[in-house]
A and B are shown apart, each in its own frame.
Chain A
């Protein structure tokens, strides 16, 4: 607490360098990066150059964009952050999987929540067939088994219209 207030008074900001798996380096203020629990722990251990072997440049760029925006969060710009989040989760399922894996590895809880919710929202209205295709899951039910599972919850399969698209 004491050290952070004194550094802001003098205008000195502690900088950190993140290195992606592709070898690109990004210099950032510590105050932005500590949203990420994994890095925060490394900073506490005295690291200032942080190699991230599981995160490529493309994903890291997105994640830095997220951390920068969320570091600006105040009481008055809630709406702005909300819109940013909305834009941020647009993109293909593959992009989202990359991001959520990285967020999980880096322990950025807010981003995890945002992405998991977005993935859940996007599969909510999908048909069973579309869900299988999107996630590349092969149907391991026999037709009899599938019928049995369907029969267990007849109420759930009546009248519902589901989206067959794969995006």
Chain B
């Protein structure tokens, strides 16, 4: 690597470049070969952490285009497009998505593409495939496969590792098995099974460092606090609906109202009546904000068209006037959101 900036030691130049926001990286790469090498080096991303200039992004994948992820930069209100996820499975959906160890992970899931003649699921109902996207190399790569193929399962980060639980295997049978992934060593290990499966999709949220697994149509919550100890069943009777965690608190949308759900009680937090006609959106927390991302306007009696949305609506919790505001819509992704998470880069 030749000298980055004349008159400056490379270590100092790197500390300057580490403070340039991620969205400007492609521009800096055009300066010269050595700048490109520096911008794409793990040292730069390490320095970003050290000088506290890492940034938080929203990661979104929607129905259209196929297997394309975009990142939203809330500071600059702009969208960054990642290279297409190179899976052989078309229209990968019902997967798990999390970020840990500085990478984005897309796990399992199955094809959402349906053969119009047979109704078959494009050959793959669920996979054990795990992909990771590394912002340093800007590439997707295959990781160690899960022990069990699964779709519509709970997927959470627990102490830097990924815990998946429940869901459906490839024979469309619901499963109680759970496993943990260590991103440092790229290995999966089984952990104690869930106690209940309830023949339905499940999802997971992390609150207070504990994983909470909820099954659709089931009032119990299965909680993991300690991997060795396994799952503990609670009868919380939480509301069911889109969930988001903001500043450590769980918010659930039900009948176009967003509630703050505490362990035993809940309190109405804010109205979401403007999304009455919208389905298939994602609800997620980022910073102090709740985001409603994408989705579709479903068919109505007089209009059978399905309108794919790329809209993004944001509400800052705890602000004086709690009003939804629109931010820049996704520039590529639109329609039902298949996966949504946060990443710090």
CB contacts (< 8 Å) of B30 on chain A: these are 128, 141, 146, 149-150
Does residue A165 face the partner (Cβ distance < 8 Å to B)?
Answer: no
Are A156 and B80 closer than 8 Å at their CB atoms?
yes
Q: Tell me the A110-129 residues at the B interface (CB within 8 Å).
A: 112-113, 116-117, 119-121, 123-124, 128
A131-B33 Cα distance, complex, nearest whole Å: 14
Determine how close the nearest CB of chain A comes to the CB of B86; give it in whole angstroms.
15
Q: Could you tell me if B32 and A141 are in contact, using CB atoms closer than 8 angstroms?
A: yes
Please tell me if the beta carbons of A116 and B26 are within 8 angstroms of each other in the complex.
no
Considering the chains assembled together, what is the distance between the CA atoms of A150 and B27 in angstroms?
8
Candidates B11, B32, B80; contact of A139 at CB < 8 Å: B32
Interface string of A86-111 (1 = CB under 8 A from B): 00000000000100110010000000
Residues of chain A from 70 to 96 with CB closer than 8 A to chain B in the complex = none
How far is A121 from B19 in the complex, measured between Cα atoms in Å? 8
The residue of chain B having its C-beta at the shortest distance from the C-beta of A160 within the complex is: B27
Closest B residue to A154 by beta carbon equals: B81
Q: Nearest CB to that of A134 among chain B residues?
A: B5
B227 at the interface (CB under 8 A from A): no
| Nearest A residue to B17, CB-CB | A120
Per the 8 Å Cβ criterion, residues 19-36 of B in contact with A are 19-21, 23-33, 35-36
Find chain B residues with CB under 8 A from A117 CB: 19
Q: How many residues of B contact A (CB 8 A)?
A: 32
Chain B nearest CB, measured from A71 CB (Å): 23
Contact residues in B for A138 (Cβ distance below 8 Å):
32
CB of A47 closer than 8 Å to a CB of B = no
Flag if A157 contacts B26 (CB, 8 Å).
Answer: yes
**Apart from the given pairs A116-B15, A156-B23, 7 other A-B contacts in the complex at a CB distance below 8 Å:** A100-B8, A137-B31, A141-B32, A141-B33, A155-B79, A155-B81, A160-B27
The chain A residue sitting closest to B11, CB to CB, is: A104
**B87 interface residue per 8 A CB criterion:** no
Q: With A136-B6, A149-B30 known to touch, is A116 a contact of B16 (CB < 8 Å)?
A: yes
* A156 and B51 within 8 A (CB): no
Chain B residues with a Cβ under 8 A of chain A: 5-9, 11-12, 15-21, 23-33, 35-36, 51, 79-81, 331
CB distance from A99 to the nearest CB of B (A): 11
Nearest-neighbour CB distance to chain A for B329, whole angstroms, equals: 14
Smallest CB gap from B331: residue in A = A155
Residue among B16, B24, B28 having the largest count of chain A Cβ atoms under 10 Å: B16
> Judging by beta carbons under 8 Å apart, are B5 and A135 in contact?
yes
Can you report 26 residue pairs joining A to B where beta carbons are below 8 Å apart?
A100-B16, A101-B8, A104-B11, A104-B12, A112-B12, A112-B15, A116-B15, A119-B16, A120-B19, A120-B20, A121-B19, A128-B27, A132-B32, A135-B5, A135-B6, A135-B31, A137-B32, A141-B32, A149-B29, A149-B30, A153-B26, A153-B81, A154-B81, A155-B79, A156-B26, A162-B27
- Complex formed: what's the CA distance from A9 to B8 in Å? 43
* Given A101-B7, A137-B35, also A157-B27 (CB < 8 A): yes
- State whether B12 touches A149 (Cβ < 8 A): no
Q: Does A167 belong to the interface (CB within 8 Å)?
A: no
Q: Is the CB of B7 within 8 A of A97?
A: yes
- Complex CA–CA separation, A149 to B5 (angstroms): 21
Whole-angstrom distance between the alpha carbons of A156 and B8 in the complex? 28
The minimal Cβ–Cβ distance linking A101 to chain B, given in whole angstroms, is 6
Instruction: Kindly state whether residue A152 has any CB partner on chain B within 8 Å.
Output: yes
Nearest-neighbour CB distance to chain A for B33, whole angstroms, equals: 5
> Would you call A123 and B20 a contact (CB within 8 A)?
yes
- Say yes or no for A44: interface residue by CB 8 A criterion: no
Output the least CB separation between A149 and chain B (Å).
Answer: 6
List A contacts of B25 (CB < 8 A).
Answer: 156
CB pair B19 A131 closer than 8 Å: no
